[in-house]
Amino acid sequence: MKKGKLLFLVIFCLAFLGGCGNNNSAGTEEKETEEKQETPKQEDFTEGLMTKVGQKKKGEDGEIYNLKKIKVVDQTTDIDPLSVTIHDIKILSITNISNDLLESYQEGIKLKLKDPINYIQIYYSAENKGKVDLLWPQISHVILNTKEQVNAKENGIIDSGEWDLFSGAKKDITQGIPIESDPKDIKEITFVFDSSVGNGTTITPEKKIKVTF
């Protein structure tokens, strides 16, 4: 009789311990599930155009573009017969740049680049309202309130296209000019638009346009 009770007690204890083990396993699985759910999501990147400060965009080579400042201008300046409208100006930085990509950016640029690359991007349109075809080198220099001056012809990380602007034609232009100044220190930018030539003669003079942030 005593042996029977002892056997029953052993079986009961084993069953109880087994149940506790299952409960612990279930609790562990629930905890792991909760931890997975609490894991932060991958950083969100903007798919289209960046229009708000702080937005980021990921490039094809893993580089990250960050919009530091933006100024919507929509201002037209007549440099007869040229009509130039500045649409917007952005100050951006590029980080997470591989060595190969940095070398690619450096090609054709005199300014020594490093990670991060800070640059000014200006989007504008130009219309030739005259009767003479023009050769117009677009923006030649940028001057910052930090006293930094950059030659845009020798330092362009965005191809602004050909300089020909035919009579009656209008085109959109984007120029990207790298800078050494910290974006947060930039309060004012002066763009120096180069003179244009037509039929071997200077048609439009050099023109400075100042934009404040």
CATH number of the CATH domain containing 68: 2.60.40.4170
Q: Which residues of 123-161 are buried (b: 16+ CB within 10 A; e: fewer)?
A: bbebbbebeebbebebbebbbbeeeeebebeebbbeebe
Residue 48 domain-assigned? no
Residue 47 domain-assigned? no
78 and 111 co-located in one domain? yes
pLDDT score, position 112: 95
121 and 205 co-located in one domain? yes
Residue 50 domain-assigned? no
pTM (predicted TM-score)? 0.78
Question: What total number of domains does the chain contain?
Answer: 2
Q: What is the mean pLDDT of each run of 10 residues along the chain (213 residues)?
A: 44 47 51 46 79 95 96 96 98 96 93 96 98 97 98 94 96 97 97 97 97 95
**160, two tokens:** 């602004």
Alpha-carbon distance of 69 to 182, in angstroms, equals 11
Question: Whose structure tokens read 């640029």?
Answer: 109
Residue 34 domain-assigned? yes
Residue 64 domain-assigned? yes
pLDDT score, position 18: 52
197 and 129 co-located in one domain? yes
9 and 73 co-located in one domain? no
pLDDT score, position 48: 87
Q: Structural domain of residue 4, as residue ranges?
A: 1-39
